[in-house]
């Protein structure tokens, strides 16, 4: 699956400040629920928090990939939250997180889920790419930067 296919501009949020990890996950849950229709923000938030209880989805270097497999879904979707100021996220490097790529995957898509997480972790571990992402100030620019990188790597 192409990462570009998971993300629409209306699910990219560039927000100056958020007070906590909980609030950031609430914002992402709300945006994902607006797209799904079949899930409430509370259901999505609960699924993301349940996954966080297993261990932080913070990768380090200010990046987190909150994710969950959800029953009854037939497609994988994503949302991005980019913050000007990071939030405490219990990341392995203890650094605040300012970039979150939330991922919801159908419950039965175990292999797809693992492959996507691996691809995302690799993509977001590139320091220069993340500098470019962090310099973007609006959803369209962020999506274009992400799309160019994914297209360039696929070529």
Here the tokens at position 81 are 């939250």
- Residue 13 contacts residue 23 (beta carbons within 8 Å): no
Measured between alpha carbons, how far is 35 from 73 in angstroms, rounded to an integer?
Answer: 12
Q: Is 37 exposed, middle or buried (0-12, 13-18, 19+ CB in 10 A)?
A: exposed
* Marked catalytic residue, from 67, 113, 127, 152: 67
State yes or no: is 127 an active-site residue.
no
Here the tokens at position 152 are 């360039």
Q: Which are the catalytic amino acids?
A: 67
């Amino acid at each position: 699956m192409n990462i570009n296919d998971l993300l629409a501009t209306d699910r990219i949020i560039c927000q100056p400040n958020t007070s906590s990890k909980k609030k950031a996950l609430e914002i992402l849950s709300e945006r994902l629920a607006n797209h799904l229709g079949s899930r409430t923000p509370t259901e999505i938030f609960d699924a993301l928090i349940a996954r966080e209880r297993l261990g932080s989805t913070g990768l380090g270097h200010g990046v987190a990939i909150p994710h969950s497999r959800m029953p009854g879904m037939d497609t994988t979707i994503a949302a991005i939250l980019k913050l000007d100021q990071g939030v405490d996220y219990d990341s392995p490097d203890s650094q605040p997180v300012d970039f979150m790529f939330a991922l919801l995957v159908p419950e039965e898509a175990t292999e797809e889920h693992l492959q996507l997480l691996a691809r995302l972790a690799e993509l977001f571990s590139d320091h220069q790419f993340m500098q470019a992402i962090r310099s973007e100030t609006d959803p369209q620019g962020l999506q274009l930067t992400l799309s160019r990188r994914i297209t360039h790597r696929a070529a």
